[in-house]
Structures are given as C-alpha cells and as structure tokens.
Amino acid sequence: MFTVKRLLTVALLTISMVGIASAGQKRPNSLKVTATAYNSVSKQTDSTPDIAAWGDRLKPGMKAIAVSRDLLKQHGLSYGDKIKIKGLEGEYLVLDKMHSRWRKKIDIYMGKDRREAKRWGKRTVTIHW
C-alpha cells in the first residue's frame, strides 16, 4: 500500500512538472484568414495614420500587420508576434489591431503605396505563428 501511494505521488509530481515546463512554450499555430491591405493615410485609419494601436510608429517598408481582435482573444496572437503569411516573403509583426467588428481578418501594412494596396485587394491566406 505504501509503495503504491509513493508511486502515485511520484507519477503525479512528474506529470505536473512536465505541464509546468511546457506551459511557457508557444506551439506553432496556423489559420485561414481574410487578408486586406492598408496605408498610412487618415482616410483609411484616423487622424494619426502613422501610429499603430500599441503606439508603434509605422514607416513605409515595415513588415507589419493589424489583426482582428478575435485573433488576439481566441487564437492567442499578441502584440509583437511574428507571423508568416503563406505566399509572401519574410515575417510580419503584429503591431496594430483592427476595429472590433472584424473577425478572422488581417490587414497588411503597405506604407503609403495605395496602388499596391488596391492591387492586393482582398484574399484568403493562411497565417502561421
């Protein structure tokens, strides 16, 4: 009896230690989302088009995205996360968030190049983080 209790205690401690050790590790995720593009112009944002939601100053050439708030709350994305967008080169940083009306959506920052943003249009893409 004493040995069984001791074995159970050791087993439970081992399981809980493994859970604690892996709790801080992020697992890679992927998700299909709608992707549009936006520019640093007040007609598309607000009166401070170069300032993102968390206070970052956006500059043309940056690889940044805005994400819908459900991706932050339900899918574990957070400020500063590095995102890969299937079909595009490099990694994009989560530096902005979108109005709460949007769901499963990202907005790719394209500086002041409105023509490029219009050319991008609206697409379904897979993101990885």
Given a cut of 90, whether residue 86 has pLDDT beyond it is yes
Write the CB contacts of 82 (distance below 8 Å, at least 6 apart in sequence).
Answer: 91, 92, 93, 129
Specify the range with the lowest mean pLDDT, choosing from 37-41, 77-81, 107-111, 122-126.
37-41
Which one, of 77, 67, 70, 62, lies nearest residue 109 by Cα? 62
The ranges assigned to domains in the chain are: 29-128
In this predicted structure, what is the pLDDT of residue 44? 81
Judging by beta carbons within 10 Å of its beta carbon (0-12, 13-18, 19+), is residue 65 exposed, middle or buried? buried
Q: How far apart are CA 90 and CA 20, in angstroms?
A: 32
In this predicted structure, what is the pLDDT of residue 16? 52
- Confidence band for 23, pLDDT divided at 50, 70 and 90: low
Write the CB contacts of 92 (distance below 8 Å, at least 6 apart in sequence).
Answer: 63, 64, 65, 82, 83, 84, 85, 108
What pTM, to 2 d.p., does this model score? Answer: 0.75
Say which CATH architecture domain 29-128 belongs to: Beta Barrel (2.40)
Given a cut of 80, whether residue 51 has pLDDT beyond it is yes
In this predicted structure, what is the pLDDT of residue 8? 55
In this predicted structure, what is the pLDDT of residue 1? 56
Given a cut of 70, whether residue 69 has pLDDT beyond it is yes
In this predicted structure, what is the pLDDT of residue 12? 52
